[in-house]
């Protein structure tokens, strides 16, 4: 029986990856706060550790905040930083929290720049702090998918996973969907 120490599972098992899962935080709606006085959304700190605790996560995860920005403000330099962290971490399984508006663009960049690792991007359409957010579900789904998918770059939203080159955000429906070629894992 694996031992639990410092919030992490120790040991091996059929459903427990030996190596840690690296979680890279980039911001997005996932981590936005609401200012009740001004009615604006802003960033303070990531909610990922709280979400992992509330979800009673027993996985060996290492969380690192790279940036806290809206994905509409993400630049080519920001994407290079994300790719560099993916390449340089020893972890072979990486989950990235990201704003949904440009998540596909970042996935395309990572697919071109990083090889031999399983990378899953996820986000939320509604801020976690609103209580009715899809963020907790998407985080859990992405952590499950990153453990079982082969090396490559994927997007995980609403319980489904999509290869980086076969997905788009349908802004009219507020969902991610497969595009020509299928392969959406549902």
**At 81, is the secondary structure helix, strand, or coil?**
helix
Predicted confidence pLDDT, tens digits, the chain (186 residues)? 333 333 444 444 555 546 899 999 998 877 766 667 777 765 677 878 888 888 898 899 999 999 988 888 899 999 999 999 999 999 999 999 998 889 999 999 999 999 999 999 999 876 666 666 777 889 999 999 999 999 999 999 999 999 999 999 998 998 889 997 644 444
- pLDDT the model gives residue 2: 36
In a domain, 6, yes or no: no
In a domain, 44, yes or no: yes
In a domain, 8, yes or no: no
In a domain, 9, yes or no: no
Structural domains in the chain (count): 1
- pLDDT the model gives residue 5: 36
CA distance 140 to 159: 9
pTM over 0.95: no
- pLDDT the model gives residue 157: 93
Greatest alpha-carbon span in the chain:
51
In a domain, 154, yes or no: yes
In a domain, 7, yes or no: no
Which strand (E) or helix (H) includes residue 65?
A: strand 61-69
Segments forming the whole domain that contains residue 87:
19-177
> CB of 82 within 8 A of CB of 24?
yes
CATH of the domain at 93: 3.40.50.1170
Which strand (E) or helix (H) includes residue 42?
A: strand 40-43
């Amino acid at each position: 029986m694996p031992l639990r120490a410092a919030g992490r599972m120790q040991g091996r098992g059929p459903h427990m990856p030996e190596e840690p899962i690296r979680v890279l935080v980039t911001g997005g709606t996932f981590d936005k706060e609401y200012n009740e006085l001004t009615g604006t959304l802003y960033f303070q700190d990531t909610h990922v550790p709280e979400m992992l605790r509330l979800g009673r996560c027993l996985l060996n995860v290492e969380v690192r905040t790279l940036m806290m920005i809206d994905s509409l403000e993400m630049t080519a330099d920001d994407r290079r930083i994300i790719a560099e962290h993916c390449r340089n971490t020893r972890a072979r399984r990486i989950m990235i929290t990201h704003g949904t508006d440009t998540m596909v663009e970042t996935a395309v960049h990572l697919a071109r720049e990083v090889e031999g690792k399983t990378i899953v991007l996820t986000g939320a359409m509604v801020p976690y702090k609103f209580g009715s957010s899809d963020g907790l579900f998407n985080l859990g789904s992405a952590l499950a998918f990153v453990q079982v998918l082969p090396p490559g770059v994927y997007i995980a939203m609403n319980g489904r996973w999509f290869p980086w080159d076969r997905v788009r955000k349908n802004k009219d429906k507020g969902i991610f969907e497969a595009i020509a070629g299928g392969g959406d894992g549902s």
